[in-house]
Homo-oligomer: A and B are copies of this chain.
């Protein structure tokens, strides 16, 4: 429990990789996949997702690839995680959920407080802190 997903890991590794290149240079998804032994198509998808979300910019065609578009110092980890994986919460009942305990759950509000702390912690860290630490 309390794990981050592969997708998030791959995304961070890719961003870090691109950040080490000259600004404006592009890198192909398969270059990154090969470099870090990441399954090609799953990284491709992750890059596409980040492109849709304007974290990176895609350049199509031969000599194309991706480059960083957003200012990584301005994206906090709560935002980043939610962009890639959807709503963040220790329990599902804070967003969706037809949990059978919904009306008799006695720990919902105490856990909610912990959840707030957690979100807070992640909101106070930027993607940049991971990609260049």
Contact = CB atoms under 8 A, between A and B. Distances in A.
Interface residues of A, number: 42
A81 B90 CA distance: 13
A14 to B, nearest CB: 10
B107 A114 contact: no
Contacts of A16: 106-107
B101 A37 contact: yes
Contacts of A118: 2, 118, 121
Contacts of A92: 3
A79 to B, nearest CB: 14
A88 B2 contact: yes
B107 A12 contact: yes
Interface stretch (A21-29, A46-54, A61-69, A125-133): A125-133
8 contacts: A1-B3, A3-B89, A3-B90, A4-B90, A13-B105, A16-B107, A36-B106, A110-B133
